Amino acid sequence: MQLYSTKNKANTASLKEAVFTGLPADNGLFMPSHIPVLPTSFFENIEQYTFQEIAIEVCKALIGEDVPEAEIKKIINDVLTFEAPVLKVSGNIHVLELFHGPSLAFKDFGARFMARLMSYFLSQDASKEINILVATSGDTGSAVAQGFLNMPGIRITILYPSGKVSDIQEKQLTTLGNNITALEIDGVFDDCQRLVKEAFLDAELNANMNLSSANSINISRLIPQSFYYFWAFAQLKKTGKPLVFCVPSGNFGNLCGGLIAKKMGLPVDKFVAATNANDIIPQYLTTGQFIPKASVSTISNAMDVGNPSNFQRLSDLYGNVFDDVKKDVVGKSYTDAETSAAMTEVYKNTGYILDPHGAVGYLGIKEYLQESGTDANGVFLATAHPTKFLDVVESAIGVTVPLPERLQAIVSKEKVAIKMGKDFEGFKAFLMANK
């Protein structure tokens, strides 16, 4: 798998190089030089495959030149030990539940895959140690912490914004210890993301440490985020209806995973990019102008991103032609009041409990189907278990939601985090002192 930088296609890298460096030196993002189209026979018979078998075929097509088939099968079977069911919510609206993994969030797919892919490459060079930096607005940090816990040769440093993740999310990423270090940054998510990016561009740091990233800027996070779009199609194929996905997004890696699936031949009519008040991408899809701005805090905090990194990939997938992007993607955004009302409405009418991010997805698919009049299967992605946002969920639906056992086990644990400002020099000094 050959990759290039979105800033300059002449800057290329192998899959191994891209996975470990995270970012190209020019501060672009890595993209595949070629996205293969899967054979027609694959889609004709896809409903006969298991989730793991689908993922193996997709993975072989993307990275089969770099990783042996036997190793791909081993990685996939180790990653996909949990389900991703499509459930009917009402009418033509379905939910793709992506929260059945260890950290109860969709980011388990990417974090677990990345950890095992890195481990495979590291097994070829036992003397190498990798220092992974990850900025999180909530779920990425806990998924990475779980996915990389006790992985030999890998150290994890997680940056999260103080007071801007839920209590349960914070406990998930600050109670593991071992090779996991949590930094509580006095700022917002965009500050955390900026610190990580600056670290990758700092010559002194990179001369002294092998740095990599586990954010969605890392290409190995995007690969497994394509798998469940194929799996959703397989589960709904028998209906014969067109397929529309609504993806609640912050950094837009999840949406890019779906767009890569479409480029590989997955028959998707439309993608709805749904956000909260941080509506940079919906505004872009309306005006053609990408204008980052300071993020604002909302009840769907994992989407509180004011400068989505994966915009570069979104645009690059369409040759940076705005009109071509608009053919496949529409944007929607919703207020906290609308999000809370959707949670109330769905629970009252169906008994289904949404988390605030899933509620944004529900609103997006509902509005799109109503506006377009399309008789399609609308699928919104439920990216996190509702109990990760207990205060918000219980306030909206008016009932107590019991914690799953795996969350009950961490609530009583003591938080261990290092408080830090948002200046890069302080962050750099910490890394250099702990290399």
Catalytic residue, candidates 107, 164, 366, 388? 107
Paired strand residues for 134: 158
Report how far apart the first and last C-alpha atoms of the chain are (Å, whole number). Answer: 31
Per DSSP bridges, beta strands 329-333 and 270-275 are parallel
Rounded distance, CA 20 to CA 368, Å?
Answer: 39
Q: What is the DSSP string of 131-155?
A: EEEEE-SSHHHHHHHHHHTT-TTEE
Paired strand residues for 131: 155, 211
Paired strand residues for 232: none
Give me Rg for the CA atoms of the chain. 20
Give the torsion sign (CA, 282, 285, 286, 287). positive
Paired strand residues for 160: 184
Rounded distance, CA 14 to CA 16, Å?
Answer: 5
- With 0-12 / 13-18 / 19 or more C-beta atoms within 10 angstroms meaning exposed / middle / buried, residue 83 is exposed
Rounded distance, CA 142 to CA 139, Å?
Answer: 5
Catalytic (active site) residue 415: no
The amino acid at residue 137 is S
- With 0-12 / 13-18 / 19 or more C-beta atoms within 10 angstroms meaning exposed / middle / buried, residue 106 is buried
> 3-state DSSP call for residue 342?
helix
Rounded distance, CA 130 to CA 285, Å?
Answer: 38
Paired strand residues for 136: none
Per DSSP bridges, beta strands 93-97 and 377-382 are parallel
Rounded distance, CA 375 to CA 174, Å?
Answer: 46
Residue with the two structure tokens 């639906």: 397
Contact 79, 112 (CB under 8 A): yes
Which pair of tokens denotes residue 7?
């800033």
Q: Which residues are the active-site residues?
A: 107
